Amino acid sequence: MDRLTFDQLRQYDLVDYFTSLGLNPTKIQNNNYWYLSPFRQERTASFKIDRQLNLWFDFGMGKGGNIIDFGMHYHNRTAIDFLRMMDGPDAKSLLTVPARIYHTDPVKKSPIEITQVQPLQDRRLLSYLLSRKIELQFAQQYLTEVSFQLHDKSYTTVGFKNNSGGYELRSQYYKGSSTPKDITVIPGMKDHAIHVFEGFMDFLSYRSIKGKEAQQDAFLILNSTIHTSKSIPYLQHYNKVNLYLDHDDTGRKATEELLEALPQATDASMLYAHHKDLNEMLQQSKRILPKETLYPKLNNSRRPKL
């Protein structure tokens, strides 16, 4: 049996595919199908599919593309993984043809089921954060301990909450996120700068490095460069915006987008010029974190081994 190709996948009808996901348009204007964005919570539809072109565009995010671009973002998969996921017995039913109803479950359930959220105290997670040279006072201020089920397996990770109530989930052995995906904004004094980071490890690295010096500043963590455009309305209210994004293609592209949209923004990544990101620089530094100041609230039985 021939395997599905990328060219064939691009022909899949986007409207039918959305129906298969339980996503229905709020209004239809000629070839334009309008949806509430599947990437965030909203009351007014800002996501459009042009059925004639078979392309989508999210006006709130400022991005769009074909079904492959959507599938990569929506399912958090690589292009090849999304292709394999779509290479099933129902593939031909989604090829671009006149409109039809494609029946499936009406609600798409997240594969991650969070079972418990509590203060951060697990010894293994604390050891993991210490290996990243994150100070405990900031870890406990901004992170929680999240237990969840995924494909009938149980996990416990550190959790970093976003503005919509979802979590970025990390441990030594796991990297993922729960839905809904969103940015995280940590307010500060209005006359202070706002600092922008790609992920929460870089944000916590900055807090660990700067300490009290940055306690009145504001912070915005993208949690994914897919939220770059969405962050602009928040950042426009600050007179000074410092960007600390990754030194890779996606990080540089996001930096360029923010610099173009925000005249008051500055690329501050020269701080870690010879490293991929801020946490990598911190890990490779000679900075030593004293055990007793790191773990003042933990007794010896719960203190992680160093």
178 and 252 inside one domain: yes
Side-chain-side CA neighbours of 94 within 13 Å: the count stands at 25
Range scoring the smallest mean pLDDT among 75-89, 188-202, 279-293: 279-293
Q: Output the six-digit token pair for 151.
A: 């494909």
Over 70: is that where the pLDDT of 268 sits? yes
Q: Output the six-digit token pair for 283.
A: 């890990």
- Residue 110: the pLDDT is 60
CATH number, position 84: 3.90.580.10
pLDDT above 70 covers a percentage of the chain that reads 85
Over 50: is that where the pLDDT of 100 sits? no
Q: Could you tell me which residues come within 8 angstroms of residue 89 by beta carbon, excluding any fewer than 6 positions away?
A: none
Q: Could you tell me which residues come within 8 angstroms of residue 3 by beta carbon, excluding any fewer than 6 positions away?
A: 87
d(CA 203, CA 130): 15
Over 50: is that where the pLDDT of 97 sits? no
193 and 250 inside one domain: yes
d(CA 134, CA 126): 9
Domain of 230 in residue numbering reads as: 112-294
Asked whether residue 305 is domain-assigned, the answer is no
d(CA 208, CA 214): 10
Q: pLDDT tens, 123-138? A: 999 999 999 999 988 9
Over 80: is that where the pLDDT of 253 sits? yes
Q: Could you tell me which residues come within 8 angstroms of residue 284 by beta carbon, excluding any fewer than 6 positions away?
A: 275
Counting beta carbons within 10 angstroms of the beta carbon of residue 147, is it exposed (0 to 12), middle (13 to 18) or buried (19 or more)? middle
The domain total for the chain is: 2
Nearest to 49 by CA among 38, 110, 41, 40: 38
- Residue 94: the pLDDT is 47
Q: pLDDT tens, 147-193? A: 999 888 899 999 999 998 899 999 988 888 888 888 999 988 877 88
- Residue 196: the pLDDT is 97
Q: Output the six-digit token pair for 223.
A: 């949690």
67 and 131 inside one domain: no
pLDDT band of 104, cuts 50, 70, 90: very low
Asked whether residue 1 is domain-assigned, the answer is no
